[in-house]
Amino acid sequence: MKKKILVVSSANMDMVMNINEIPIAGETVIEHGTYSYVPGGKGANSAVAISRLGGECVFLTKVGKDANADALLELYKKEGIDISYIKRDESAPTGLATIFVEKSGQNRIIVFAGANQKIEKETIDDALDISLDALYMQFEINHDAILHAANEAYKKGIPVFIDAGPADKSFPLEKLPPLEMFSPNETETLGFTGISPIDEDACLRACYELKKRIKAKYTVIKLGAKGAYVFDGEDGILFPSYEIKAVDTTAAGDAFTAALTLKYLECNDIAEACRFANCAGALTVSRHGASSAIPSFSETQAFFEKINK
């Protein structure tokens, strides 16, 4: 039976610019590279990942009444995502992200949240009434929606998984209920703990700092090219990532946490889930784009088998 995951999170249209250099203040830089509009948003990227990797995804978000929303909704339907809980806002535009991708594949993102900030509690309550295996969220939507969804899901016994992107130090972590998993990346870990997770010792210290503010069965720090550090409340272990040529890191974290969540729900083994998620993350950085870069189950499984043989 497929695992059914409710994603309460963001949808954006991404304007991606492949650049050589970031202008300094007051400077104009002419680029001869390419730019494109592609579907993105941390929530949508994760929803696409869950669906492509073999899960059943119900995506709850808010978009505007504009052409960007029409294009995004079309894609979600094509991906087999349940869009019954996606509402359209009269006054706010669909979220927009401007993404600068440097030659190394590293990115810088600015998000205009738009309708993502207007998700309503009533829609969340309706969605939590269906039978679910998990609730999955990120921090790219309004705080009250996140706290409401997490606490209501917890009361109903639905396991809650949170990817802590994007870094938002003002998020009141203490108000979250006990989680199944909390997954920040390096920047988010630094933001929430003041500790930069530069090595395993620093990761462990950061996890203990986080433990003071949040109860999570597993804390998983995403370390980019270095892999992921999994903390079980007592001790931690590093799962190194797999070597691959990175062309664009956009959505890799979203694909990783979504794959980790789905695989963990399926096999109940955090180590296996983490190895699988590292494969999904690696394949995502090897391609350009956000949602479009996310691999299917068969691609991820083939990569997993190749590196583990």
* Contacts with ligand RIB, residue ranges (CB under 6 A): 10, 12, 14, 40-42, 45, 97, 109, 111, 140, 250-251, 253-254, 290
**Which H or E run includes 4?**
strand 4-8
CB nearer to ligand RIB: pick between 56 and 254 = 254
Active site residue 82: no
Query: Residue 16 CB, nearest distance to ligand RIB (Å)?
Result: 9
* Dist CA 109 CA 207 (whole Å): 26
Which three-class secondary structure state does DSSP give residue 238?
A: strand
- Tell me the C-alpha to C-alpha distance, in Å, between residue 58 and each of 83, 139, 264, 298: 6, 18, 18, 22
As measured in angstroms, the least distance from the Cβ of 185 to ligand RIB is 10
CB of 291 to ligand RIB, least distance (A): 7
Residue closer to ligand RIB by CB (options 89, 254) is 254
* Contact of 293 with 248, CB cutoff 8 Å: yes
Place of tokens 């869009």: 83
Indicate which residue of 66, 89, 163, 254 is catalytic: 254
Q: Can you point out the beta strands (E) in 179-227?
A: 179-183, 216-222
DSSP class of residue 127? Answer: H
Which amino acid, 38?
A: V
Residue 193 or 284: which CB sits closer to ligand RIB?
284
**What is the smallest separation between the CB atom of 12 and ligand RIB, expressed in angstroms?**
4
Residue 135 phi, psi (nearest 5): -110, 135
Q: What is the dihedral of CA 136, 130, 298, 257, to 10 degrees?
A: 0
* Tokens read off for 140: 């790219």
The nearest distance, CB 166 to ligand RIB, in angstroms, is: 7
260: CB partners within 8 A, 6+ apart? 181, 183, 220, 228, 273, 274, 276, 277
Closest approach of ligand RIB to the CB of residue 109, in Å: 5
Closer by beta carbon to ligand RIB, 40 or else 184: 40
Nearest residue to ligand RIB, scored by beta-carbon proximity: 40
- Phi first, then psi: what are they for 190, rounded to 5°? -60, -45
Catalytic residue positions, numbered: 254
